[in-house]
Amino acid sequence: MGLFKDFKDDFSQAVNEMMPGADAPEKENKAEDLVVNTLGEDVDVKSELSKLDGLLEQVQKDDGSDTQKLESELPPIHKEDKKPVITPAVDPVINTFNEEKKIMSDTTMETPKPTAPVMNNKVNPDAVSDETSVITAGTVLTGDIASDGSFDIQGTINGNVTCNGKLVVTGTINGNSAASEFFADVAKVEGEVVSSGTVKIGAGSVIIGNIAAASAVIAGAIKGDIDVQGPVVVDTSAVVMGNIKSRSVQINNGAVIEGFCSQCYADIDVQGLFDGK
């Protein structure tokens, strides 16, 4: 009996060890006890969720404020194209230039064009300068020239010449001439000659144009009318193709005149002498 009892006890113990169900609840209870003991107290699920919701709202609020701040710093956006419109800064220098340009455009300003001196055949002997301008031989000038002094023209002038002093020509003038005194020596002039004083045409000179002066001495060739308020001397070498009007005329032997001579400026009333008879 003792041996059978011992066998029974050993068999019961072996069966108990082979069946886990008996000890499992104890072990699970121990694990649950460990978890509960670790937290220290029971967990309120609703309170924990409300805390999480509060944190989520705070995060969303912070993100919204940052977004608004960022949008305020961005340039304005049109509704149509949704593109940022950047207003350029005004440069004060460019703005000033634009204002000056606008003022200049509003005010009509025309640059005066250079005009050639008007040849009015008038000189002012009282405003004569002592200066003498020399146009050297080989020089060709195109255009009108004028001076308060005198001219010594040895070259060629293609234009009108006006001076208050003496005009001495040993070259060529293709234009009208006006001076207080006119002297031509082996010169060629195509144009009118006007002088408030004396006109002297030397031998070898050719004048194609009318002459008007206070007195005249002709030794060269003239093709044109001569109108002189004073005396006219026609030298031996002179050739005149034109009418002569003067106060008196002296024609030397050898001179050639083809034209009408009249002393219409003489003090004698020629017509009255004949009407009386």
Q: What is the pLDDT of residues 210-245, one digit of tens each?
A: 999 999 999 999 999 999 999 999 999 999 999 999
- Looking at the predicted structure, is the pLDDT value of residue 143 above 50? yes
pLDDT (mean) for 236-257: 95
- The band of 111, judged by pLDDT with boundaries at 50, 70 and 90, is very low
The C-alpha atoms of residue 19 and residue 251 are separated, in whole angstroms, by 178
Half-sphere exposure of 203 (CA within 13 A, CB side): 4
224 or 59, greater pLDDT: 224
pLDDT digits (tens, 9 = 90+) for 190-218: 999 999 999 999 999 999 999 999 999 99
- Given a cut of 80, is residue 84 above it in pLDDT? no
Question: What is the C-alpha to C-alpha distance for residues 77 and 208, in angstroms, rounded to an integer?
Answer: 86
- Distance, CA of 115 to CA of 132 (rounded, Å): 23
- Only one residue has tokens 């040993």, namely 170
Which residues, 6+ apart, have CB-to-CB distance to 51 below 8 Å? none
> Left (φ > 0), alpha (ψ -120 to 50) or beta: where does 237 sit?
alpha
- Section 236-265 average pLDDT: 95
Q: Name the residue with tokens 């309170």.
A: 47
Residue type, 152: D
pLDDT of residue 130: 84
For the ranges 36-45, 119-128, 183-192, the maximum mean pLDDT occurs at: 183-192
**Could you tell me where the beta strands, DSSP code E, fall in 111-180?**
132-135, 140-142, 145-147, 150-153, 156-158, 161-163, 166-169, 172-173, 177-179
- Look at 150 and 33; give whichever has higher pLDDT: 150
pLDDT of residue 270: 78
Please enumerate in sequence order all residues whose Cβ is within 8 A of that of 171, keeping only pairs 6 or more positions apart, or say none. Answer: 135, 137, 153, 154, 155, 156, 157, 187, 188
What's the N-to-C CA distance of the chain in angstroms? 220
Residue 167 contacts residue 151 (beta carbons within 8 Å): yes
Comparing 112 with 255, which gets the higher pLDDT? 255
Find the DSSP H helices in the chain.
Answer: 2-18, 24-39, 45-73, 92-106, 270-275
Mean of pLDDT over the chain: 75
pLDDT at res. 250: 95
Q: Which of 168, 181, 212 is nearest to 194 (CA)?
A: 212
Q: What are the beta bridge partners of residue 251?
A: 234
Contact (Cβ atoms closer than 8 angstroms) between residue 147 and residue 134: no
- Starting at the earlier edge strand, list the strands of the sheet with 261-262: 145-147, 161-163, 177-179, 193-195, 211-213, 226-228, 244-245, 261-262
**What is the amino acid identity at position 4?**
F
How much is the pLDDT for 123? 61
Q: How is the beta sheet containing 248-251 ordered, strand by strand? A: 132-135, 150-153, 166-169, 181-184, 198-201, 215-218, 231-234, 248-251
